Amino acid sequence: MASSTHKQQLLPNLYGGATSAPPPTPAAQPNSLLSTSDAADALSRLLHRLPPTLSLPTRCASPSSAAATCPPSLSLNDDVLSCVSQLGYAQLTDHSVPSGLANSAESEALALFDLSRDRKEALFPKNWPLGYGDEEDEGLAESFRLDSARWTESSELALASLRELALELEKLGLKIVDGLTKELGFENPLGHDPTRFRSLMWVSECVRGSKPDLSGGFYPFVVGLQFQIRNQKYSMLSDSGWVSVLPHVDSILVTVGDIAQVWSNGKLKKVRGRPVATVGEENDTRCITMSLLITLPTESRVAPLLPNKDQTKEESEEESNNGECLTHLILKTTLGESTMNVSYSKIH
């Protein structure tokens, strides 16, 4: 973040130059003092000369110390766009995911962190974005990244609940994507073809400390979903900066990702990365997050979508002839990178 240094302005010497005599003390000024009325008038004139916008600087609160706000409630039966377009996040309170399933999935996920490092690496080989990783080799918090459609059961692992939770969240995520694109006037790029998207279940330990960051790693996504098992505050990096939220227990925190923002040509706000649990150093309770990200297959190209009514026959022919719509392709990126800076220009 860029910062500027303000030069200090020295007050003028009201009593002359360096060789001037020092000002007389009040005791040496008999009968020369201003009257009370004159002093008040002088003070009033001085105050009127001050800049009208003069104000004392305020101290910016850190995300961890800021009061957590309750996210707006989202229902699949309501206008999805209006709930998430301004902030980039909302809590889904109308859903069918049972809390017992989320608790069972959390227990299974916690057991993964009890495995030895060798077993973790053997059972979850690294194939970004999938696999196991920790801060020793990636600078990240310890995490497991699983593809809910392709992971296999191991004889020493019981992940049935975790996989079922991922599939339930995936169904909800696809409904939200469908609602967003329809309300924006676009054709849903994902459709009902499972080869057009992938679901990434990201299980990560909570990083303790008073300052939230993205040390847990991030990956571009369309929408993210996270079941709120208990009364837990989260910090998120939105377009307006770090925000602190406290969703209702048993709700699902929904976040809009950078891919959706690009699809909408900047109409949607986004959340960078996944929500980070706020856990103080004094809290010795184990804490993990389970985030389901609806994203795209690697090597996918991302560009603003055109409303159906504005897609002319000539534009469709140009896209089919050239393999991509050169007129409107603003962002083209490979999603297989560990970092991604979304940068694009709006279509006018």
Q: Which residue has the tokens 């990083």?
A: 207
Q: Is residue 312 part of a domain?
A: no
Q: What is the CA 137 to chain-centroid distance, rounded?
A: 24
Q: Is the dihedral of CA 105, 110, 116, 121 positive or negative?
A: positive
Q: Is residue 123 part of a domain?
A: yes
Considering only 152-156, 307-311, 330-334, which range has the smallest mean pLDDT?
Answer: 330-334
Question: What contacts 79, CB < 8 A, 6 or more positions away?
Answer: 183
Q: Is residue 24 part of a domain?
A: no
226 falls in which pLDDT band (50, 70, 90)? very high
Q: How many helices (H) and strands (E) does the chain have?
A: 8, 11
Of residues 165 and 4, the one with the higher pLDDT is 165
Q: Is residue 108 part of a domain?
A: yes
Q: Is the pLDDT of residue 267 over 50?
A: yes
Q: Is residue 4 part of a domain?
A: no
Q: Which residue has the tokens 């996210």?
A: 71
Model pLDDT for residues 285-321, shown as the tens digit of each residue: 788 999 999 999 988 899 999 876 544 444 444 444 4
Residue 274, both tokens: 């996944």
Q: Is 237:271 a contact under the CB 8 Å cutoff?
A: yes
Q: Would you state the pLDDT for residue 224?
A: 97
Q: Would you state the pLDDT for residue 206?
A: 81
- The string of DSSP codes covering 223-260 is EEEEE--SS--EEEEETTEEEEE-PPTT-EEEEE-HHH
Q: Is residue 8 part of a domain?
A: no
The CA radius of gyration of the chain, in Å to the nearest whole number, is 28
Q: Is the pLDDT of residue 161 over 90?
A: yes
Q: Which residue has the tokens 């060789």?
A: 19
Q: Is residue 134 part of a domain?
A: yes
54 falls in which pLDDT band (50, 70, 90)? very low
Q: Is residue 182 part of a domain?
A: yes
In the chain, the N- to C-terminal Cα span, in Å, equals: 29
Q: What is the total count of domains within the chain?
A: 1
Q: Is 106:288 a contact under the CB 8 Å cutoff?
A: yes
CA–CA separation, 129 vs 146, rounded Å?
A: 8
Q: What is the CATH number of the domain that holds 259?
A: 2.60.120.330
What amino acid occupies position 110?
L
CA–CA separation, 72 vs 234, rounded Å?
A: 15
Nearest to 102 by CA among 254, 230, 281: 230
Q: Which domain holds residue 119?
A: 73-299
CA–CA separation, 255 vs 88, rounded Å?
A: 6
Model pLDDT for residues 237-253, shown as the tens digit of each residue: 998 889 999 999 999 99
Q: Would you state the pLDDT for residue 202?
A: 95
Nearest to 293 by CA among 255, 252, 330, 331: 255
Nearest to 227 by CA among 331, 127, 91: 91
Q: Is the pLDDT of residue 26 over 80?
A: no
Residue 59 CB burial class (10 angstroms; 0-12, 13-18, ≥19)? exposed
CA–CA separation, 157 vs 114, rounded Å?
A: 11
